[in-house]
Amino acid sequence: MTTRVYLHVGAPKSGTTFLQGVLESNRATLADAGVLVVGERHLDRIHAALQIREDPRLADLPESARHAWDTLVRQIREWQGESAVLSYELLAAASSQQAGRALADLAAYDVHVVITARDLGRSAVSAWQERLKFGLTTPLEKWVPKGEDDQGEWGWHTLDPSAVVQRWGATLPADHVHVVTAPRPGAPADQLWHRFAEACGLGALSVDLEVARANESLGVVQAELLRRVNQGLGEEIRGSRQRSIWIRDLLAQQVLAPLGHEPIGIAPHQVAGALAVWERAVERIRAGGYAVHGDLDDLRPADSAARLPLDVADAELVKAAAATICALVVELRDRSVAGRVGPAARTGRRARLRHLAERATAPYAERRVRELTRRVQELEREVQRARRLHLRVAALQDVVTELLLEPDRQDAGVTAKALRAYRRSSL
């Protein structure tokens, strides 16, 4: 049975997608070694984090999503191997109270919390880019991450590893709290995994590290173009769900990301702000005596010679906009014929677009399913009532039939039995 749980809680944009890809692709290998990769789907872990964080968006999701964390805890409890690894980056956004309740649910196990982190200056730029994908219109040059007291997903609350450590590690021994630093660019591609594996007790296992690495980052030209599109959209696309489908998934990741990957620079004032956070983080982590895998200097914000978004020329934006329009026209064409092509053709871009449409309409479909489920339950209750009435009528018919017989043909035992049956069905 499970004795040890490794809870990888983030932070976002610190190589978590790669690490989760390795865990998922090696699920069978890890299981053979007695290690459970918790959560059958990544979506289950997303929903679990929403439950832990008491996120109001759960109200629009199916009932199973509201109990996703309980389901993951049950998977850990039922696992017959020695350890379990649960990884989702936005667990980092939980408050101290929320983290405490989650850890209390795992009190029966030897729990280790793992926090991954990267160059804090680059983390800030990545956070701005993620906010762009949800409609942000503020230029990078005027934007700074919110402080650690703000519980948003893309501020120092989640990006500063020492802030996450203080919330998730408050009730754990220091040697059960692990900070894994992402190596600098140019380091061996497998170095992050080996640091993470060491923190999770997986260092002795041989795993396949050849996992697909989707580059969802925008180039500097594409990022500035998206920011200006956000200004034009205004409130046309509302709510985080609609923005995630149409701005993030469709426009940013499917259309703009493949068009260019020129690095985005970081403004001097942002470097200075990230440097102050780094200095405080190093002091907290060293004072706490937490286990560090890698080098805390890897988190020090580095200067960048890359261009800032406002340095992009209008001619570059026009060229990128033309390429974007072309891609969107093809998407629209594919969408219009998606229902008239054979299964073999429904792949690639068409399949992705159909998936987006399904996600967009999911809340309405789920609401209709709930309404129909309630109606089915009402009809089932009606059927049960009708069945009971039918039994009562049948029992009464037996009584009446027996009483109407000529006296010399009546059987007192049969009559008594019929009366008892009628009473049972009526009272």
In single-letter form, the type of residue at position 214 comes to A
Question: How much is the pLDDT for 341?
Answer: 47
Counting residues of the chain whose pLDDT is more than 90, the rounded percentage is 65
Task: Give the model's confidence band at 415: pLDDT under 50 very low, under 70 low, under 90 confident, else very high.
Answer: low
CB atoms under 10 Å from CB of 73, counted, come to 20
pLDDT (tens digit per residue) in 9-19: 999 999 999 99
Q: Residues 6 or more apart from 376 whose CB is under 8 A from it?
A: none
Cross-strand pairs, 4: 83, 110
The pair phi, psi for residue 138, each rounded to 5°, is -75, 130
Question: How much is the pLDDT for 395?
Answer: 66
pLDDT (tens digit per residue) in 2-42: 999 999 999 999 999 999 999 999 999 999 999 999 999 99
- Residue 238, pLDDT above cutoff 60: yes
Residue 48 contacts residue 105 (beta carbons within 8 Å): no
Among the CATH numbers 3.40.640.10, 3.40.50.300, 3.30.2270.10, 1.10.630.10, which is that of 4-215+265-305? 3.40.50.300
Q: Is 11 helix (H, G, I), strand (E, B) or coil?
A: coil
Query: What does DSSP assign to residue 263?
Result: P
Question: How much is the pLDDT for 240?
Answer: 82
Distances in Å between the Cα of 221 and the Cα atoms of 135, 246, 252, 287, 312 are 17, 19, 12, 42, 6
Locate the domains of the chain by residue range: 4-215+265-305, 350-426
pLDDT (tens digit per residue) in 135-193: 999 999 999 999 988 888 899 999 999 999 999 999 999 999 999 999 998 899 899 99
Based on C-alpha coordinates, what's the Rg of the chain? 30
User: In the predicted model, what is the mean pLDDT of residues 319-324?
Assistant: 96
- Weakest mean pLDDT among 86-100, 180-194, 225-239, 351-365: 351-365
